[in-house]
């Protein structure tokens, strides 16, 4: 017979059961945290549990993707020969052997060796046969298109907790969208890699041909605002994580501002056409110089004694354009350029946006110089947006890097009939003026050259160096696309008879781009006759 437990024994039994239950709960919680809720953490670094979304072009071609990689750490106390271990790990990973040996000698418990090792690099490490190594999982951004999309896409880096974040370009501009996207989702851009490849090839070829310091270009849908291609040269390899000699990370099309020169005459003639202050067949006296205040406006090339307005644009006369602009006056010119979006920063998905530079005092002298693109600096992307609004029926366009095929034209900035007359004049520039080398049979290209002397970086005045550009629209009778190219400090060649002006450098570049992309973009090769504006306003 077993005696019944005393009251004291019962209390002890209850306390033991409570203790066992408490320890059990703690154990279950520890297992839950360790297996299911713990961050992927070693040595104080927390790593992203989810990769960034892929970036793809408008046709689904992969532009950027996170690939799984491993970071390598070492336990120096496990090495018999620290010098040999440092050399072996440096050879396998590309790390600095001197840095590794220094840290190994300091007897730290853990030493970071290399970040973002690919499977090939991991295999090389394993073949070294060293003890005391630990791999830690993470992600690395990979750009399969390499240099072709480097500046526009930008790059990523690791923040303090080891998560990939955008550092530049669209990676930075779309950082939240790419980081917060559901697993497996991709972000489609407006870029068309077929067009991007062609533009990149032609821009780099022209930069090399004319020995230009930098060059760039873009292709813009004038109805939707979609940017199908944007290129800057020289570029860099976004996968190398280090710049080679001659590389550049600058996106000159969106990040830099330029005095673009005579291509700005597009806006001077648009304003005069809108306000009916000149007729295309109206004749202006050109002469050898046009005095204004204590300055005299001169021509870049010899001009006839008189020119009709349409020939002032076609032959790019500074004196003729000045006279036309002065009819509008300073206040109206400034108001118009502001309305066209040229006096404030253009905001797109690219975070790198420079504010334009323009006169604080806007008098007659400034009206004259601004009329032919001097004394005002804008980004090529901002210029292209305003020019697209001139030719697309006169409605505002805001460029976008997102795929958005619907017509996105906004408010009416100029009358539709003004837009039509400007398209006729721009076609005349290509058939009868400085833009002849941009013509592509069957596509009715319209456009304007720009050759600007570069302003001195320090002090007043201009250097004997040029920035040349060409703004093209096609087909001009029913505009779909705008191509804008820029060459920074091109040099003349034997083939151009030593001339470096836009008609010899930028115009043929734009023409080659159009000839190659028009069939890809399904632009019908059908020439519709265009009647050049010769009558009244």
Active centre residues (catalytic): 262
Contact 310, 281 (CB under 8 A): yes
Judged by phi (left if over 0) then psi (alpha if -120 to 50, else beta), residue 42 lies in beta
Q: Which of 88, 256, 125, 191 is nearest to 399 (CA)?
A: 191
163-170 long-range contacts, Cβ below 8 Å, gap at least 24? 163/46, 163/47, 163/48, 164/48, 164/51, 164/52, 164/66, 164/139, 164/140, 168/249, 168/351, 168/352, 169/251, 169/350, 169/351, 169/352, 170/55, 170/349, 170/350, 170/401
In whole angstroms, give the CA distance from residue 508 to residue 437: 5
* Residues 516, 451: Cα–Cα separation, whole Å: 25
Q: Cα(57)–Cα(55) distance, rounded to whole angstroms?
A: 7
Secondary structure (3-state) at 116: strand
Residue with tokens 């920063």: 345
Residues 454 and 462: beta-carbon distance below 8 Å? yes
Q: Which is nearest to 433 in space by CA: 537, 310, 324?
A: 310
| Of residues 199, 189, 193, the one with CA closest to residue 226 | 189
CB 355, CB 344: distance < 8 Å = yes
Do you find a cis peptide bond into 515, omega within 30 degrees of 0?
A: no
3-class SS shares of the chain: helix, strand, coil, % to 5: 35, 20, 40
Cα atoms found within 13 Å of the Cα of residue 226, Cβ hemisphere only: 20
Q: If you search the block for the tokens 């033991």, which residue do you land on?
A: 16
Q: Which residues pair with 412 in a beta bridge?
A: 395
- Determine contact, residues 469/497, Cβ cutoff 8 Å: no
Reported residue count of the chain is: 537
Q: How far apart are CA 249 and CA 231, in angstroms?
A: 11
Peptide bond into 234 cis (omega under 30): yes
Distance CA(463)–CA(373), nearest Å, equals 16
* Distance separating alpha carbons of residues 307 and 302, to the nearest angstrom: 12
Which residues are CB-contacts of 302 (< 8 A; sequence separation ≥ 6)? none
């Amino acid at each position: 017979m077993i005696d019944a437990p005393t009251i004291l024994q019962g209390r002890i039994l209850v306390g033991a059961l409570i203790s066992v239950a408490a320890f059990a709960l703690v154990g279950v919680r520890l297992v839950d945290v360790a297996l299911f809720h713990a961050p992927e953490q070693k040595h104080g670094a927390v790593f992203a549990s989810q990769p960034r979304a892929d970036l793809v072009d408008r046709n689904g071609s992969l532009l950027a993707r996170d690939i799984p990689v491993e970071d390598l750490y070492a336990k120096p106390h496990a090495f018999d020969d620290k010098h040999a271990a440092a050399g072996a790990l440096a050879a396998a990973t590309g790390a600095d052997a001197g840095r590794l040996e220094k840290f190994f000698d300091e007897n730290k418990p853990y030493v970071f060796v290399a970040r973002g090792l690919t499977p090939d690099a991991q295999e090389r490490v394993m073949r070294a046969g060293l003890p005391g190594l630990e791999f830690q999982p993470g992600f690395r951004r990979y750009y399969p298109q390499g240099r072709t999309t480097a500046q526009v896409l930008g790059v990523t880096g690791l923040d303090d907790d080891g998560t990939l974040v955008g550092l530049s370009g669209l990676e930075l501009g779309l950082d939240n969208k790419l980081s917060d996207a559901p697993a497996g989702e991709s972000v489609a851009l407006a870029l068309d890699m077929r067009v991007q490849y062609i533009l990149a090839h032609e821009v780099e070829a022209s930069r090399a041909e004319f020995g230009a310091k930098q060059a760039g270009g873009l292709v813009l849908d004038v109805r939707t605002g979609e940017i199908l291609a944007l290129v800057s040269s020289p570029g860099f390899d976004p996968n190398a994580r280090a710049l080679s000699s001659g590389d550049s990370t600058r996106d000159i099309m969106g990040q830099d501002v330029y005095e673009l020169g005579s291509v700005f005459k597009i806006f001077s003639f648009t304003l005069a056409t809108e306000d009916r202050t000149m007729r295309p067949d109206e004749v202006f006296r050109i002469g050898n110089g046009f005095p204004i205040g204590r300055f005299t406006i001169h021509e870049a090339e010899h001009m006839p004694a008189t020119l009709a307005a349409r020939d002032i644009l076609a032959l790019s006369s500074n004196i003729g354009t000045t006279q036309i602009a002065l009819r509008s006056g300073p206040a109206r010119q400034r108001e118009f350029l502001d309305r066209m979006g040229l006096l404030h920063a253009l905001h797109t998905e690219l975070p790198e946006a420079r504010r334009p530079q323009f006169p604080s005092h806007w008098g007659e002298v400034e009206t004259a110089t601004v009329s032919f693109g001097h004394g005002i600096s804008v980004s090529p992307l901002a210029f292209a947006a305003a020019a697209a609004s001139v030719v697309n029926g006169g409605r505002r366009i805001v460029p976008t890097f997102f795929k958005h095929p619907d017509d996105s034209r906004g408010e009416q900035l100029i009358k539709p009939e003004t837009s039509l007359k400007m398209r006729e004049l721009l076609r005349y520039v290509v058939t009868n003026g400085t833009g002849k080398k941009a013509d592509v049979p069957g596509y009715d290209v319209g456009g304007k050259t720009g050759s600007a002397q570069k302003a001195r970086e320090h002090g007043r005045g201009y250097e004997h160096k040029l920035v040349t550009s060409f703004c093209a629209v096609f087909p001009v009778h029913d505009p779909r696309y705008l191509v804008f190219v820029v060459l920074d400090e091109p040099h003349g060649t034997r083939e151009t008879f030593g001339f470096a002006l836009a008609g010899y450098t930028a115009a043929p570049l734009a023409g080659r781009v159009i000839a190659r992309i028009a069939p890809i973009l399904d632009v019908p090769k059908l020439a519709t006759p265009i009647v050049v504006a010769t009558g009244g306003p």
